Amino acid sequence: MRDISAMDVLQTLGIALGLAALAGVNLYLTVFAAGLAIHFGWVILPSYLAELSALGNPWLVSIAGGLYFLDFFADKIPWVDTANDAFHTFVRPLGGAVLAVLALGEADPAIKVIAALLAGGVALTSHAAKAGTRLVANSSPEPASNIGLSLGEDALVLGGLSLLYFYPIIAMVLILVVLITIWLVLPRLLRSIQATLWLAWKKLNGAPAGNEAGALTAALPAGIEQDLRRAHATAEPVAFAVRCLSGGGPRLPKNRFGWLVRLEGGRLFFLSRRWQGSLVVEIPQPAEAPERASRFLCERLGLPGSENTPHVFIFERGSRVVADLIASQLAVPFPPPAPDPEPLATVTA
C-alpha cells in the first residue's frame, strides 16, 4: 500500500465527495468530462488517485459520451426532464458511490463501504435538489427555464471538476456548505414537489376546461373545525370552506394543504394540519379587489393586504368556477360590526 500524507487524505476525501455530488447532478457528464481529460492527458493524476485512471478507458468514455448526448436533449424538455430524473433516482447515487470508491484507491474495505454509503447520500442529496428544482420549474410550460437550468447544471459540473482538480480541499468545504444549505431548505423543497405533483395529477385526471364544478360548500372536517374554534373561540357558522394550497403571504407559509374558510360574520381563515400542530392563520379583509389568474397547473387567487404582500391561495386546475365565486364574494367588502349601543342616560328627579 502506498504511503500518503494527511494532506493527500483530505484531498482524496474532497475529490471522492466532490465526484459524488457532481454525479448527483449529471452522472454521464461527470464521467465523460473526467474520462476525456484523463484519456488525452489534460490532467495528470497523482499516485494516490491512480485508480481514477480507469475513467480514461476509451470504451467508458465513448459510452458515457453517448449517454450524455441523449441526456443533454432529454434534460431540456419540460416534464421529460422530470421523467428522466425519476429514472436516475437510483442510477446517480449508485454512480456517485462507485466514483467515490474508485477515488479512494487501495483503502481498507471497511473504509470503502463507509465512503460508498456517504457518497451515495451526497449524490442523492444533490440529485434531489436538482430534480426538485426542475419539477417546480415545470409548473410553467415554457421551455426557457428548463434549458437555462440544464445549461447551468452542465456548467456547474464542468466548473466543479476543474475546482476538484486544482483545489480539492476548497471544493470539499464548498460541497459541505452546499449540502448543509440543501438540507435546511429541503423540507420546503419537498413541500413544493408534493404540491406540484398534486396539481399535475389533478390536471391530468380532472374535468376538462368548461366543465368545472362551481359549488361552494360549508362542510368542514370536524378536526379542522375544532382547531378553528379552539384558536379563536368563535361559534359563528361557516359560510364556505374550500380545499386549497397556501401560496404564501404574511405569516402564511407556502405549499401547505389546507382549507380556506369564511365565517358568516365575514372573518376569513386558512386552516391546515402539521405534524407539530395545527396552523390557523386569519386573513385580513382584502384592501382591494382579489386578483385572479389561471395558470398552467392551477387557479390562483391573490388577496391584497395592508403589508404590500398578498395572501395567495392555489386551487386545482378544475376549480376555476369555485375560485371565481370566492373572488366575487370577497370583492364585496364585508360591513364592519355595528357598534354597541350607548347606555341610556339615567334621569334623576
Buried b (16+ CB within 10 A) or exposed e, 15-28: bbbbbbbbbbbbbb
Percent of the chain with pLDDT over 90: 25
Q: Is the alpha carbon torsion for 319, 325, 330, 336 positive or negative?
A: negative
Residue 218, pLDDT score: 67
List the grid coordinates of 343: 347606555
Residue 349, pLDDT score: 41
- In tens, the pLDDT along 40-87 reads 989 888 887 888 889 999 999 999 999 999 999 998 888 888 889 989
In this predicted structure, the answer to whether residue 26 has a pLDDT above a threshold of 90 is yes
In this predicted structure, the answer to whether residue 1 has a pLDDT above a threshold of 60 is no
Domains (range + CATH), the chain:
6-193 (no CATH), 222-331 (2.30.29.30)
List the grid coordinates of 192: 413544493
Long-range CB contact pairs, 42-47, < 8 A, 24+: 43/165, 46/8, 47/2
pLDDT bin (cut points 50, 70, 90) of residue 347 is very low
Residue 51, pLDDT score: 87
Residue 160, pLDDT score: 92
- Mean pLDDT across the chain: 83
In this predicted structure, the answer to whether residue 337 has a pLDDT above a threshold of 60 is no
pLDDT bin (cut points 50, 70, 90) of residue 3 is low
Residue scoring higher pLDDT (300 or 3) = 300
Residue 98, pLDDT score: 92
- In tens, the pLDDT along 217-269 reads 767 777 777 888 887 777 888 888 888 899 888 888 888 898 899 888 888 99
- In tens, the pLDDT along 150-182 reads 899 999 999 999 999 888 888 889 988 988 888
pLDDT bin (cut points 50, 70, 90) of residue 307 is low
Q: Could you tell me if 71 and 95 are in contact, meaning their C-beta atoms sit under 8 angstroms apart?
A: no
Residue 133, pLDDT score: 86
Residue 209, pLDDT score: 55
Mean of pLDDT values over 127-143: 79
Residue 339, pLDDT score: 52
List the grid coordinates of 153: 447544471
pLDDT bin (cut points 50, 70, 90) of residue 208 is low
Residue 27, pLDDT score: 94
In this predicted structure, the answer to whether residue 103 has a pLDDT above a threshold of 70 is yes
Alpha helices (runs of H) in the chain, residue ranges in sequence order: 6-39, 58-74, 80-104, 109-137, 144-166, 168-205, 222-232, 320-331
How would you classify the pairing of strands 252-263 and 268-274? Answer: antiparallel
Residue 141, pLDDT score: 62
User: What is the Cα–Cα distance from 23 to 92, expressed in whole angstroms?
Assistant: 6
